Amino acid sequence: TNRTFTMLKPDAVENGHTGAILDKINAAGFRIVALKKTQMTKANAEAFYAVHNERPFFGELVEFMTRGPVVAAILEKDNAVDDFRTLIGATNPADAAEGTIRKLYATSMGENAVHGSDSDENAQIEGNFHFSGREQF
């Protein structure tokens, strides 16, 4: 088995898309290992997206990710990281393929509805950022 980590971002949660997005994730064959609605502090978001801290949009990204609750989840499926990134589509929804989660639910490059880990190593780090060991089944 193989795992990835996702967050439904504040725009998706605010817009009432949590259920529909979780449905698409299930329909694509992912098993939900861990799931919670939570809100990140500024320090949490800065740590989570530390890899982007030199980018011009970093302040905007942290502001956005902390403006409301997110839904965090660990997902399991063969080839989880790559298959999940295919399911969500390109970072910019204007470039996202038809039927992808970002094509359906994202509003802009900044407010793009969902996060997906970009490697097995980051999936592990990001899952452990939000969930303790005994929350991961």
Residues in contact with ligand GTP by CB under 6 A are 52, 57, 60-61, 91, 109-110, 112, 115-116, 118
**57 annotated to bind ligand:** yes
With both helix axes pointing from N to C terminus, report the angle between 120-130 and 80-88 in degrees, rounded to the nearest 10.
80
CB of 134 to Mg ion, least distance (A): 27
CB 38 within 8 A of CB 72: yes
Of 11 and 34, the one with the shorter C-beta distance to ligand GTP is: 11
Give the residues across from 71 on adjacent strands. 8, 37
| CA 45 from centre of chain | 13
Q: Which of 17, 52, 115, 130 is catalytic?
A: 115
Of 56 and 133, the one with the shorter C-beta distance to ligand GTP is: 56
Establish whether 52 is a catalytic residue: no
CA 14/CA 69 separation, integer angstroms: 8
Of 118 and 120, the one with the shorter C-beta distance to Mg ion is: 118
**6 annotated to bind ligand:** no
CB 105 within 8 A of CB 12: yes
Binding residues for ATP: 9, 57, 85, 91, 102, 112
Catalytic residues: 115
